[in-house]
Amino acid sequence: MGDVTNWIGLVVNGGALAAAGAAGFAAWRTLKVEQARDRRTEDDRRREEPGKVNAWQAVRLDAKKHKHYGLVMANRGENPVRHVSVASREWVKDAYPKSQSSPVLHLATLPPGTYFFERLENVFGWDLGQSLDAVYGAVSPVMKADRLGIDELTFTDTTGQQWIRGRDGLLREVPESGQTDGGQFGDQRPDGAH
């Protein structure tokens, strides 16, 4: 009778051990699922402010219906971004393929708001920009000309993380190995003055 009791005890203990192992595995899987969800939540939180920074080609019509081409820069976040660079393509009249690279627009800081930067033929390539609310005349986005548009928008957020939005419109973090200390603009002006 003692052997049967030992066998029953062994089976019960083995069952308890298996149940504990299954519970441990279930807890481990739950932990991994929770950690993955926390990483996604943190990634979404990190991308929230940078995701509110964008640029697009636009045209402004003045009172005489003259067209003024430029860029609209929008920072709908709560904080300014720094070291902003926008590479874009512009319309070229009587030329093929009707577009060419515009001078890169460099901004040391882009405060919250929406701004229009008119394309000019000067050393900077652009005017100083003004709030879209203060621009005289209607400003419309250029939406149908695929050969025109933004090739690349780069900026640094308030945490020091650099971001890039490519021609596809997707926002990507610049890996730390690819980050610079001041972006393309740095603290220099095109005329060489500091």
How many domains in the chain?
Answer: 2
Mean pLDDT in residue range 76-102? 79
> Residue 159 contacts by C-beta under 8 Å, 6 or more apart in sequence?
46
Task: Tell which wins on pLDDT, 149 or 94.
Answer: 149
Residue-level pLDDT at 100: 67
Does 149 fall in a domain?
yes
Same domain, 61 and 44: no
Give yes or no for residue 62 having a pLDDT over 70: yes
CB 164 within 8 Å of CB 174:
yes
Name the pLDDT band for 178 (thresholds 50, 70, 90): low
Residue-level pLDDT at 44: 59
Domain limits for position 7: 1-48
Same domain, 61 and 24: no
Does 92 fall in a domain?
yes
Give yes or no for residue 97 having a pLDDT over 60: no
Share of the chain above pLDDT 90, in %: 30
pTM for the whole structure: 0.68
Residue-level pLDDT at 106: 94
Mean pLDDT in residue range 109-119? 95
Does 184 fall in a domain?
no
Does 190 fall in a domain?
no
Q: Nearest to residue 145, comparing CAs of 87, 74, 69? A: 69
Give yes or no for residue 170 having a pLDDT over 80: yes
Over the chain, what is the mean pLDDT?
81
Same domain, 43 and 135: no
CB 85 within 8 Å of CB 77:
no
Does 113 fall in a domain?
yes
